[in-house]
């Protein structure tokens, strides 16, 4: 009987070690000189399954080959996490979720989050999370290994009404189905997932300030608020409600003639996007013909996103564009602090 207990203890010990090893295997990342932790490649069989799921879930990908989807993924940038140096022994942590803004944009986000170092153990988890959640899960594991007891997750998005935010929410067990591939969910014990900034007063103040920065005569100016926009029509209508609320705030706190909101629906396909671009062009042209100067601002999170394509879309038209994103404004960090305090 004693020998059986010894064998049982040995088996349980091995299983425990293997479970920990599996966790560690999931967190084997390549780290560069700046501290970015990149995931290892998935197996080919796993990738095949993910490609099939994406074709079913994301309509614009339905007719694409694996190679075409893979090329799109490369253009979107990698999924990785990027811890900031730990300057405290805080029991609270902050994970910033963002889809990524290119090398320069990611560095700007990283540097802007240094304001939180004294209060929270802080890390960025960047990427579209379409085929993996490893970069998010391993960031959480790092937090727990630092004896963090509570983690606040900040989704960097101008609205909750898009597939990316829903994918993040699925990863944190707040949605029943993934919007992209079926990725692993994370341990949510001690985790608080915050709501996107949407039409919070800080978003309103930032966008009003950006409009005023490029204004010279409010009484003869109209303002366009332009957004990336979601894939489907229902989400688009909900985002426009948010943007119109921001527009009303701008009207109530300025002398602009009018404020109009538009979404590009940048990933919804050429036909839908072209229709939206055409509507914006008509508004700019009609406003100019009526003697009004056109100002363009956005609720884009970064100034390093689709701004170049926006400028190309409206090349030759008479308007002034403030291309700054919400992230670069000090009010964005104030919003994070206030969001945490209200929980």
Strand-pairing partners, residue 225, are 261, 297
Query: Which pLDDT value is given to residue 24?
Result: 45
Domain range enclosing 309: 201-330
Per-residue pLDDT tens digits for 259-289: 999 999 998 888 999 999 999 999 999 999 9
Which residues are CB-neighbours of 139 under 8 A, at least 6 positions away? 81, 83, 95, 123, 125
Please say which residue of 196, 220, 235 terminates a domain.
196
Model confidence, pTM? 0.88
Residues 169 and 281 in one domain: no
pLDDT tens sequence across 245-260? 999 999 999 999 999 9
Average pLDDT for runs of 10 along the chain of length 343: 37 33 59 88 79 90 90 87 87 95 90 91 95 94 91 97 97 97 96 98 98 98 96 95 98 98 92 96 98 97 87 95 95 96 86
Please check whether residues 107 and 232 belong to one and the same domain.
Answer: no
- 34 and 79 share one domain: yes
| Same domain? 103 vs 74 | yes
User: What six digits make up the tokens of 185?
Assistant: 């969910």
**Cα separation of 125 and 23, whole Å?**
18
> Among 196, 215, 246, where does a domain finish?
196
Residues 115 and 140 in one domain: yes
**Pair 21, 145 in one domain:** yes
**Number of structural domains in the chain:** 2
Give the integer Cα–Cα distance in Å for 157 and 171: 16
Contacts of 207 by beta carbon, 8 Å cutoff, 6+ apart: 225, 246, 250, 297, 298, 299, 326
* pLDDT digits 0-9 by tens, 295-334: 999 999 998 888 889 999 999 999 999 999 999 999 999 9
Query: CA angle, 311 as apex, 268 and 167 as ends, to 5°?
Result: 35
Given 196, 225, 240, the domain boundary residue is 196
């Amino acid at each position: 009987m004693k020998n059986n207990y010894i064998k049982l203890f040995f088996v349980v010990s091995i299983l425990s070690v293997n479970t920990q090893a599996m966790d560690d295997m999931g967190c084997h990342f390549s780290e560069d000189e700046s501290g970015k932790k990149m995931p290892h490649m998935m197996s080919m069989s796993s990738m095949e399954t993910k490609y099939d799921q994406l074709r079913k879930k994301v309509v614009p990908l339905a007719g694409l080959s694996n190679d075409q989807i893979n090329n799109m993924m490369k253009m979107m940038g990698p999924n990785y996490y990027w811890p900031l140096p730990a300057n405290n022994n805080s029991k609270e942590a902050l994970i910033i979720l963002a889809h990524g803004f290119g090398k320069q944009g990611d560095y700007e986000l990283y540097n802007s989050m240094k304001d939180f170092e004294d209060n929270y153990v802080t890390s960025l988890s960047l990427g579209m999370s379409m085929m993996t959640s490893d970069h998010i899960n391993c960031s959480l594991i790092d937090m727990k290994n630092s004896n963090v007891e509570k983690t606040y997750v900040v989704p960097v998005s101008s609205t909750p009404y898009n597939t990316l935010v829903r994918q993040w929410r699925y990863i944190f067990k707040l949605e029943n189905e993934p919007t992209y591939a079926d990725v692993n969910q994370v341990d949510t014990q001690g985790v608080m997932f915050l709501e996107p900034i949407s039409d919070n007063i800080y978003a309103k103040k930032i966008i009003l300030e950006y409009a005023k920065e490029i204004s010279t005569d409010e009484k003869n100016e109209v303002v366009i608020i332009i957004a990336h926009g979601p894939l489907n029509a229902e989400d688009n209508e909900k985002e426009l409600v948010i943007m119109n609320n921001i527009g009303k705030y701008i009207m109530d706190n300025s002398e602009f003639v009018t404020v109009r909101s538009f979404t590009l629906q940048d990933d919804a396909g050429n036909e839908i996007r072209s229709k939206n671009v055409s509507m914006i062009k008509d508004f700019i042209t009609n406003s100019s013909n009526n003697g009004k100067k056109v100002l363009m601002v956005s609720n884009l999170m970064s100034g390093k996103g689709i701004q170049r394509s926006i400028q190309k879309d409206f090349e030759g038209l008479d308007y002034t564009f403030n291309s700054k994103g919400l992230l670069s404004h000090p009010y964005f960090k104030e919003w994070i602090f206030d969001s945490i305090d209200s929980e």
